[in-house]
Structure 1
Amino acid sequence: MKALATKLAVFTAVTLISALPVLAGENGMGMSSGDNYQKDECLLVAQTCRDSVDTIQQRIDRLSKEIGKGTSVYNGDELKRLNSQLQDATRTLEMLISNGA
């Protein structure tokens, strides 16, 4: 029963994350993917852009890349938020792998 509840919680989280591009609205939250010195506003506000749907692994990679830019692009609070999102995404991936979902 506990395993079923865990799988349901992970499924709900994945579903909500994948629905975020729709919720982002018409104005989007576009970013220039080629500019290494620009903040990724989509990640910063814990949303995905309407034109960018990532798998959990892609989200982890994007978060790691942004955190790697460090204080030259982000302030301390923003880096903490990105690290928190990275930890959440990593835990979600680990849960999916360990539960065989």
Structure 2
Amino acid sequence: MKRIGIAIMAAFVMSAALPAFAADMTKEEKNQCLLASKGCTDEVDSIQQKIGKLNKEIKKGKRVYTDEEIRKLEQKLKEANDLLDDLLKGHK
């Protein structure tokens, strides 16, 4: 039960990792929010939404991101997928 509670809290924290008000953010702020979860104010996304956005950004590839940034995005995607898997295991 404690593990499920921690997973739910982690999901809530991670749900605030991508901007809801992206139109008001500069490109650099969007990148920092996506890559480092910094400067992500006023955003609330579900884990599934975050996974979708990360996949979309990863598909942009080297025309937009450096190799290091792509690795960071892929790591964040893995973490989000792992968290979702953990949450879904708790419901079985």
Same fold (TM > 0.5): yes
Q: Which runs of 5+ in 2 are unaligned?
A: 19-23
Question: Which amino acid letter does the alignment assign opposite residue 64 of structure 1?
Answer: N
Q: Which residue identity is paired with 1:30?
A: M
Q: Could you tell me the TM-score, scaled by structure 2's length?
A: 0.75
Deviations 1:64-97 (A, max 9, x none): 0000000000001100000000000001111111
The answer for unaligned runs of 5 or more in structure 1 is 22-28, 33-37
Structure with the higher fraction of residues in helix conformation: 2
**Displaced runs of 4+ in structure 1, greater than 3 A?**
18-21
TM-score (ref. length: structure 1)? 0.69
- After TM superposition, give the deviation of residue 48 of structure 1 in Å: 7.0
Identical residues among aligned pairs (%): 33
Q: 1: CA distance between counterparts of 2:17 and 2:54?
A: 16
**Matches of 2:66 and 2:88, distance apart in 1:** 33
* RMSD of Structure 2 on Structure 1 (CA): 2.8
How far the C-alpha of 1:49 sits from its partner, in A, is 2.5
Residue 9 of structure 1 corresponds to: 6
Q: How has the CA–CA distance of structure 1 residues 62 and 98 changed in structure 2, closer, same or farther, with 3 Å as cutoff?
A: same
1:69 partnered with 2:60: yes
